[in-house]
Amino acid sequence: MSVVVEDAVSSSVSVHESKPLSGVRTPSQNLVAVDGYGKKFEVPDYTMKDILSAIPKHCYERSLVKSMGYVVRDIVSMCAIGYVGHKVIPMVQIANHDTLSMVVRGGLWSLQSYLIGLFGFGLWILAHECGHGAFSDFQNVNDFIGWVLHSYLMVPYFSWKYSHSKHHKATGHLTRDMVFVPYTKDEFAEKHGVSNVAEIMEESPIWTLSVLIFQQLGGLQTYLATNATGQPYPGLSWLAKSHYAPSSPVFDPHQYWFIVLSDIGILTTLTVVYQWYKNFGAFNMFVNWFMPWLWVNHWLVFVTFLQHTDPSMPHYKDTEWTFARGAAATIDRNFGFVGQHIFHDIIETHVLHHYVSRIPFYNAREATDAIKKVMGSHYRYEGESMWYSLWKVMRMCQYVDDDNVNGVMMFRNVNGL
């Protein structure tokens, strides 16, 4: 008999994921659907036991020294980039071309902020490792490091940790997943104020671009402040379901004071940034913290959206969801040198991360190769440019529908794609 999550999960995932969705039932076998590309999609039927048995035991080993080494590397890189920039960029001068000199310096300041933002997102990923218990064997150390790093990047550490753990427990579940939950066909029609999606005119590329820009620049903060793209909580204001509200339904009652501690971290960072502005000036704070922070916001939405949204990717109603199927409803992509060496392989090994999130990123490639042998054709990988993927996904993945066949929901759109 298949169950929602096999017992093997409990012994192999991090503490805050050791109690997945409860219930015992037998989902349908040999299910077939049609994905957003019009291709046949076969629902996986392997179990978590199959996955976990394939992963070498040493992949679970975590090293505090190695993990802290990456933290130090990223912080030193950010400081070095800022130091060199502030020493070199003001000296850039093109003879007899003051305006051109100013433009070039502006471009170099922008490049500095961009590079700091790359390593800033690397720190965000290491804090994310802390939340999963993948950073070291010592959870108190993990939580302290994660709280400091996430707070500096204006992410409420414990709030994110708890809601993110629920996302991992219910990935791909249409009514219990916590982020990037797609509209159903009826919800999409209701959003547009019509009775049927057939009545919706094609969304123009200009509209898609506008939505895309807002999503990339403000998506993370909108999600944290209002739980946008998360599960709806009818009757509650945006503030009441915020990640900053200790009594938010996103969290369990016993997590109240940890949410308060997360808020204290955010307030501490705002205080530090204000003192930064007072002592070193607005421009120094702008190019070394604010602009890199915007880049971190962008990268987080960019990466997580594309990890969980693709025309080939399913979502499941409760009747057909299992942990193993949900974890397979993710996709690995390729972001080249930056993805592997600065973003700590979060893009390239995300499928494995959803099966066993306490495996540290530096062991994830080996573990990924191991589970590919079990997953076979169910393992998803896309090697095209992620920038092209972002545009394609925005145009093609607008709502999900099961075509009145079963509880396997596939992406559809009104753009004729």
Per the prediction, the chain carries an average pLDDT of 90
User: What would the two tokens of residue 267 be?
Assistant: 């307030």
pLDDT tier at 360, thresholds 50, 70, 90: very high
For residues 212 and 206, what is the distance between their CA atoms, to the nearest angstrom?
Answer: 10
Q: What local confidence, expressed as pLDDT, does residue 211 receive?
A: 81
pLDDT digits (tens, 9 = 90+) for 136-177: 999 999 999 999 999 999 999 999 999 999 999 999 999 999
pLDDT digits (tens, 9 = 90+) for 262-298: 999 999 999 999 999 999 999 999 999 999 999 999 9
Higher pLDDT, 385 or 3: 385
Global confidence as pTM: 0.87
Residue 402 DSSP one-character state: -
User: What would the two tokens of residue 103 be?
Assistant: 């433009």
Residue 202 and residue 416 in contact, taking contact as beta carbons nearer than 8 Å: yes
> Could you tell me how many helices (H) and strands (E) the chain has, helices first?
15, 7
Three-class SS of residue 355?
helix
Q: What local confidence, expressed as pLDDT, does residue 301 receive?
A: 92
Least reliable range by pLDDT among 207-221, 242-256, 260-274, 301-315: 207-221
